[in-house]
Amino acid sequence: MSASSTGHAERARLRAAEEAAERIGTTLDARTTCTELARFVCRSLCDAAAVELLPDDAVPDDAAPDDGVPAAEHPAADPAAAVARATLHRVATEGRAHLLEADRGGAPALVSVPLLAHGHLHGVLRAARADGGFTADETATLHHAARLAAVHLAHARRHAAARRTALDLQRALLAEPGRPHPNVELATRYLPADRGALVGGDWCEAIRLHYGRTLLVMGDVMGHGLEAAVEMSAYRAALRYVASAELPPHRVLRQLDAVVSRDDRRRPATCLLAQLDPARSIASFASAGHLPPVVFGADGSARLLAVPAGPPLGTGAGGYELVTSALTPADTLLMFTDGLVERRGEDIDASLSRLAGLRLPAGAAPADLLDEALRRLGGRHVEDDVAVLAARIRGR
C-alpha cells in the first residue's frame, strides 16, 4: 500500500472516530445510547444492526468479565440471536474481546462485537451486511464505536443507580401531613418541578392541639433537590417539637427560629402558620417571610389576608407578628408555596393579584377547590416546586 493510500485510510479512520464521538452517548439514557450506536454503524458500515444488553443486575460493579457474567435470557427475533448469545457467553467466560464473522455461501456477513468498558461486559453489538465481509478498517471502526458506547453505557448505569438511591432517600423523607382534628376538613397537593425528583424543600403539615384546635403549616426551604429535602425534614421535625408546647403561632416561629439559627449549616426557610379554632370560628396567623394565605368565601370569590412577613427562619432575627381573622364553615383557607403563583419576569404583586382574582365553584370541597386552582394557575407546569393545602372548618 502506498504512502498516500495509507494516509487516506488513516484520515478516514480519524473522521470515523470523530463522528462516533459526536453521535454516540449524547445522553445518560442507555436505550438512547444503543439507538445512537446502531444508527452510526448503519450509516456506512452495515445494512442492519442491533444491540443486545445484559440486564443491569448482570453487570457487576467491581467484578471482571471472567467471573461468569450470564448472557441475556430473552430470545431475539432473528437467527443471529444464537451467535449473539454465544458471543456474550464466550466473552464473559474468556474475559477478552471477541469478533465473530459468518459468511456462508452468499449469506449476509455478521459480526458480533462485545460492549466492553473498564473490564466489564455490558452487551454485544451485532452488525450484518449483504454484500460480503467486513474489511479490517471497518471492523476496527465497529470495535471503536462499541467501546465508546460501552463507556457511555457504564456512565448511564452508574447515573441510574445514583438516581435510584436518591429517589429511595426522598421516599423516606416524603411524608403526608398529619391528620387534623375531625372538625377540620383538609386537602393537600405536592407537585415537584423536577419530574425526576419526588420531593424538594416545600412542605406542609397539620398538627393537632388541645381544645379542638389544629395548627396548619406551610414551609419552603431555600434551594432545590435532595439537599433541600433533607433540610425540609429537619425543619419539619423541629417544628413538631416546638409546636408541642402549644404556643401562639408567632411564638412558635420565634422558638423555631432560635432553634435552627444555632446551626450555621441550616438553609433559611420561609414558613406560614395558621392555628384554626373551630369552636370560636377564628384563625390566627404568623409568617416568617412567606406569602400570605387566601380565603375563598361561600360564593367562590377570594381575598388575600394581610399577614406581616417577618424574617425567614434560620436568621436568628425574630420579630414575628400575630394576626387573627374570622373563619367560618363557609370559608376555605388556601395556603401555598411561591411555586403556585410566581412566574419568571413577573412581579410578585401581579402574581398574587392573579390568584386573588380567581372565582372558584361555590361550595366546592377543599380537594376539588385545590385541583381547580391548580388547573387555572397552571400549577402542573411550573418551574418551582408547589405545595398547597386547603382547609375548611366543619359545621357543627
Could you please report the per-residue DSSP string of 66-135?
A: GGTPPPP-SPPSSTHHHHHHHHHHHHHHH-S---EEE--TTPPEEEEEEEEETTEEEEEEEEEESSS---
pLDDT at 84 over 70: no
**pLDDT score for 73:** 33
- For 286, the grid coordinates are 404568623
pLDDT at 258 over 50: yes
Average pLDDT score over the chain: 82
What is the distance between the alpha carbons of residues 126 and 146, in angstroms, rounded to a whole number?
Answer: 10
**pLDDT score for 12:** 74
What is the distance between the alpha carbons of residues 350 and 269, in angstroms, rounded to a whole number?
Answer: 23
What is the distance between the alpha carbons of residues 43 and 48, in angstroms, rounded to a whole number?
Answer: 10
Residues with Cβ within 8 Å of 41's Cβ and at least 6 positions away in sequence, in order, are 49, 125, 127, 141, 142, 145
Sheet holding 184-191, edge to edge: 184-191, 386-393, 332-336, 294-296, 302-304
Work out the end-to-end distance of the chain between its first and last CA atoms, rounded to an integer number of angstroms: 98
**pLDDT score for 195:** 58
pTM higher than 0.75, yes or no? no
Closest CA relative to residue 203, chosen from 174, 171, 168: 174
**pLDDT score for 94:** 45
- The sign of the torsion formed by the CA atoms of 103, 107, 113, 114 equals negative
Helical residues (DSSP H) of 206-296, grouped into ranges: 225-243, 249-260
What is the distance, to the nearest Å, from the Cα of residue 104 to the centroid of all Cα atoms in its chain?
51
More confident residue, 383 or 158: 158
- For 239, the grid coordinates are 417544628
Nearest 10 degrees: CA dihedral of 192, 198, 204, 210? 160
Look-up: residue for cell 389544629?
214
pLDDT at 83 over 50: no
Closest CA relative to residue 307, chosen from 283, 343, 278, 331: 283
Average pLDDT over residues 1-7: 58
pLDDT at 260 over 50: yes
**329 pLDDT band (50/70/90 cuts)?**
very high
**pLDDT score for 384:** 77
In contact, 48 and 42? CB cutoff 8 Å: yes
pLDDT 10s digits, 228-245: 888 888 899 999 999 999
In contact, 230 and 267? CB cutoff 8 Å: no
The proportion of the chain whose per-residue pLDDT surpasses 70, expressed as a percent, equals: 80
Domain ranges of the chain: 1-170, 174-393
**pLDDT score for 13:** 76
Determine phi and psi for 283, rounding to 5 degrees: -135, 135
Read off the DSSP letter of residue 298: T
CATH of domain 174-393: 3.60.40.10
Average pLDDT over residues 58-70: 42
pLDDT 10s digits, 278-292: 999 999 999 999 999
pLDDT 10s digits, 127-146: 998 877 788 888 899 999 99
pLDDT at 348 over 70: yes
pLDDT 10s digits, 178-223: 889 999 999 999 887 765 566 678 889 999 999 999 999 999 998 8
Task: Look at domain 1-170 and name its CATH class.
Answer: alpha beta
Percentages helix, strand, coil for the chain, rounded to the nearest 5? 40, 25, 35
